[in-house]
Structure 1
Amino acid sequence: MDDNSRVGEARRFAAALALRAGLDELEAGRLAIVVTELGTNLVRHAQRGQLLLAVREEAGDVEMVAIDHGPGIADIRRSMDDGFSTGGTPGTGLGAIRRQARDFELHSSPEGTLAVARVGRAQAAALAAAPAIEVGGVSLPLRGEIVCGDAWAAAVEGTRTSVIVADGLGHGLDASEAAQAALDVFAADPWRAPRVLLEVIHARLRSTRGAAVTLLQADAASNRLRACGAGNVSARVLSGAVDRSLVMQHGTAGLQMRRPEEVEIEWPQHALLIVHTDGIASRWEAQRFYPLLMRDPALAAALLLRDHSRERDDATATVIRRRM
């Protein structure tokens, strides 16, 4: 978002996504307002701003993630008030977003500001039916590619979730085909044991170039986590008291892989489950994520992408948390 013309471009793209999401005229209007305000703030106030938009088909909404590299918002609470402005404008931006979006959360520091907003169908009903577990993610292709060779998906049922993150070898169309094939297997039966799912994925991907795959199943009621994977898709359990990386076996689903073995550990009450592909550096400081432990998981995914993307490959970060 480096020019005012980008705001109009984002608004037109959002209109197309509104049709895909099945939003009515009123909801599409809300979406246009939120996209305009987020985009305008990035152009006027931010350094290296990005605005990401995607349809979440199962949720029936359009999600927007705004990412920038500074200078940050000095007083978030005051900035949310209508009439407050640092740029000579009417100052209705953040307040308008808060009113029009079903979900809106913001995290800011001198390193930059992250925001997530969603506009969707039947907003009040959707909010009332909020699940016990939230999953958020950000996935971006290598610059210059038209598709992403990474992919992720999640199923949530009651107090449990099942998540897959796949990284097709290389990037571009062939990598995307491999990653999507893994997601197709997952979607057919996401609650099968992770080791069984990985074996089925391995067989399905033999006709593709292959992919690194990690599968997680977590239950907030039993506080247990099961994981299984092949290749360099990293998984980490993180809270103020716990920081544990889950070691996945070597190999590539669809090419060469040992018999899958599962890891089962405790899922502490306030811990995030963070899964990311190798387009994101594996060494990052846990302390940066402490302010986000109780926040929308898409914020943590955006932080990981902004500060630790290698920028030479597709990059995906997926974050799971309990809704407290």
Structure 2
Amino acid sequence: MRPFQRYVVEDASQVGEARRAARLLAEELGFDEAAAGRLAIGITELGTNLVRHACGGALLLGVDGAAVQLLSLDRGPGMDVARCLGDGYSTGGTAGTGLGAVKRLADRFSAFSLPGCGAVIAARFGGVPVPTPGFSVAGVCLPAPGEQVSGDGWGLRAQDGRLLLMLADGLGHGPQAAEASDLALALFQRSPAASPAALLEDAHATMRSTRGAAVAVAAMAAAPAPLVLAGAGNIVGRLVSGISDRSLLTQPGTLGVQIRRLQDSAHDWPEHAILVLHSDGIVSRWSLAGAAGLLQCEPIVIAGWILRDHCRGRDDATVVVVRRH
């Protein structure tokens, strides 16, 4: 999964930068003129909303397979999402068609907002999502400030009726950190190992050619099977629902540098709980207690909300959210 790029939008002139970047992505992915036009309109509408109604925010652009994923993040006054999606409703004296137009133009759309807490809006343009039967999975990865590549990375694979998820955080940031996480993910995709711990043990020796990475692997199957997790380093895992919040511990160490004997740990996955994995670019002591209703949203919106409110802002940062159906 490629990292997102962040475009601060505090005045109307900054929307154009995001739109030009999106045009390049559309050309790279082979969008036709109509599809590229829908993406451009989506960016213009969401960027204009940030300026007019939210007093600024940011647009995030990422590539997911053959699609462009667009996120709008703000900490403005918030909005009534259902009313704003209806044509003709406006709080700023406009025609009131912007948000509804974005929903119609996008291939997938979701949003969440609370009064006084801003909004997160996600719109996907083009491409069919890679199927993950039984699960909904989404992630947001941002490079460290000033970097074009991220030392974080994440990936999925299916094996023996399970879905495996890896999140890797190469030491430091920049190209060498990206090389470490890229190699960890490549080894993850081709490993024949039967468990998360064995998979990481197999990768350790090959990872010695890099600066090393903090890595966690989760193995997930349909309910009532438990979640099985193994990791080395400071990747944080949480199982969060409306009534529980359980931290999932991994072991100290750095894959490719020094690790102890890794072990798989099994965790009951409560009904309605989501799995959150994130790198240390996100503060570890976050809570969703003040965001009533967020857990019912699409994983991409939940990931965006966590990143918006809890990103340290000085390192690569990645959040991956999984919902089991």
> Does the pair score TM above 0.5?
yes
CA displacement, residues 44-96 of structure 1 (integer Å, 9 cap, x when unaligned): 22244111111111xx31111111111211x2222111122222322211010
Distance between the aligned counterparts of 2:271 and 2:300, measured in 1?
19
Distance between the aligned counterparts of 1:48 and 1:170, measured in 2?
30
Q: Which aligned pairs between 1:266-305 and structure 2 lie closer than 5 A?
A: 266-288=268-290, 291-305=293-307
Distance between the aligned counterparts of 2:162 and 2:300, measured in 1?
18
In structure 2, the partner of 1:215 is 217
Shift of 1:158: 10
Distance between the aligned counterparts of 1:47 and 1:203, measured in 2?
50
CA displacement, residues 101-123 of structure 1 (integer Å, 9 cap, x when unaligned): 121111111121001111113x6
In structure 2, the partner of 1:79 is 84
Amino acid at match of 1:18: A
In structure 1, the partner of 2:122 is 116
Shift of 1:152: 1.2
Distance between the aligned counterparts of 1:35 and 1:199, measured in 2?
44
With over 3 angstroms needed to count, the CA separation of the structure-2 counterparts of 1:18 and 1:189, relative to structure 1, is: farther
Q: Which aligned pairs between 1:40-79 and structure 2 lie closer than 5 A?
A: 40-57=48-65, 60-73=66-79, 75-79=80-84
Amino acid at match of 1:275: L
Gaps of 5+ in 2: 1-8
Distance between the aligned counterparts of 2:137 and 2:210, measured in 1?
28
Distance between the aligned counterparts of 1:210 and 1:239, measured in 2?
33
Residue 18 in structure 1 maps to residue 26 in structure 2: yes
Contact 1:289 1:300 in 2 (8 A): no
Gaps of 5+ in 1: none
Residue 164 in structure 1 maps to residue 166 in structure 2: yes
SS in 2 for 1:293: helix
CA RMSD of aligned residues (A): 2.1
Shift of 1:159: 7.2
Q: Choose the corresponding residue for 1:102, options 82, 107, 110.
A: 107
With over 3 angstroms needed to count, the CA separation of the structure-2 counterparts of 1:31 and 1:241, relative to structure 1, is: same
In structure 2, the partner of 1:146 is 148
Q: Which aligned pairs between 1:167-178 and structure 2 lie closer than 5 A?
A: 167-178=169-180
With over 3 angstroms needed to count, the CA separation of the structure-2 counterparts of 1:136 and 1:184, relative to structure 1, is: same
Distance between the aligned counterparts of 1:239 and 1:173, measured in 2?
36
Contact 1:134 1:321 in 2 (8 A): yes
Shift of 1:135: 0.9
Contact 1:239 1:293 in 2 (8 A): yes
SS in 2 for 1:64: strand
Distance between the aligned counterparts of 1:54 and 1:71, measured in 2?
26
SS in 2 for 1:71: coil
Distance between the aligned counterparts of 1:216 and 1:92, measured in 2?
42
Count of matched residue pairs: 316
Shift of 1:221: 3.9
Distance between the aligned counterparts of 1:288 and 1:63, measured in 2?
26
Distance between the aligned counterparts of 2:16 and 2:105, measured in 1?
18
With over 3 angstroms needed to count, the CA separation of the structure-2 counterparts of 1:257 and 1:158, relative to structure 1, is: closer
What is the identity percentage for the equivalent residue pairs of Structure 1 and Structure 2? 49
Contact 1:66 1:114 in 2 (8 A): yes
In structure 1, the partner of 2:97 is 92
Q: Which aligned pairs between 1:182-193 and structure 2 lie closer than 5 A?
A: 182-189=184-191, 192-193=194-195
With over 3 angstroms needed to count, the CA separation of the structure-2 counterparts of 1:90 and 1:245, relative to structure 1, is: same
Shift of 1:185: 1.1
Shift of 1:298: 1.1
Shift of 1:30: 1.7
Contact 2:132 2:163 in 1 (8 A): no
SS in 2 for 1:184: helix
With over 3 angstroms needed to count, the CA separation of the structure-2 counterparts of 1:155 and 1:22, relative to structure 1, is: farther
Distance between the aligned counterparts of 1:46 and 1:6, measured in 2?
15
